[in-house]
Amino acid sequence: MDDRTAAERFSALAHPTRLRLFRRLMQTGPDGLAAGVLAEALQVAPNNLSAHLNTLSQAGLIEARREGRSRIYAVRIGATAATVGFLVDECCQGHPEVCGVVARRAEPAGV
C-alpha cells in the first residue's frame, strides 16, 4: 500500500458519522446492512448517508451489492487489515516487544 491510498482511507474514517458507520459495518461483518437500515440506526438523512457511504466505498474500505431494491453495504476486511498493518508496520525498529499491545497488531497484512 502507498501513502496516498492509506491517507485516503484514514481521511474516510476521519469523520464522526463515517466512523460510526464503519464500526457498525465492522461489527456486522460480511453480511452487511442495507443503506436504509443504516440511516435509521444511525439517525442520518438518507442523502447525507449516501454521500458518506460513497466516501468509504471510494476509499476501498467498504463495498456495495444490490439485493432487490435495497443496496447492501459491507466492510472490506482485507483492505481494513492492510490499512492497519501499514500504520504500525516495522514498529520500533524491529523490536516489537517495545511496542506492547501494538506489536500484536503489527503482522503484515495481505490485500
List of residues contacting DNA (CB under 7 A): 11, 14-15, 17, 34-37, 39, 45-55, 64, 66, 68-71
Q: Long-range CB contacts (< 8 A, 24+ apart) of 83-91?
A: 83/1, 83/6, 83/9, 83/10, 84/109, 85/109, 86/1, 86/6, 87/6
> Are the C-beta atoms of 85 and 9 separated by less than 8 Å?
no
Interface residues with a second copy (CB under 8 A) are 3-4, 6-8, 10-16, 19-20, 22-23, 26-30, 77-78, 80-81, 84-93, 95, 98-102, 104-105, 107, 109-110
Q: Give how far Cα 102 sits from Cα of 72, 85, 94, Å.
A: 33, 10, 12
54 binds, among a second copy, DNA, none (CB under 5 to 8 A by kind): DNA
74 binds, among DNA, a second copy, none (CB under 5 to 8 A by kind): none
Cβ proximity to a second copy: between 40 and 89 the closer is 89
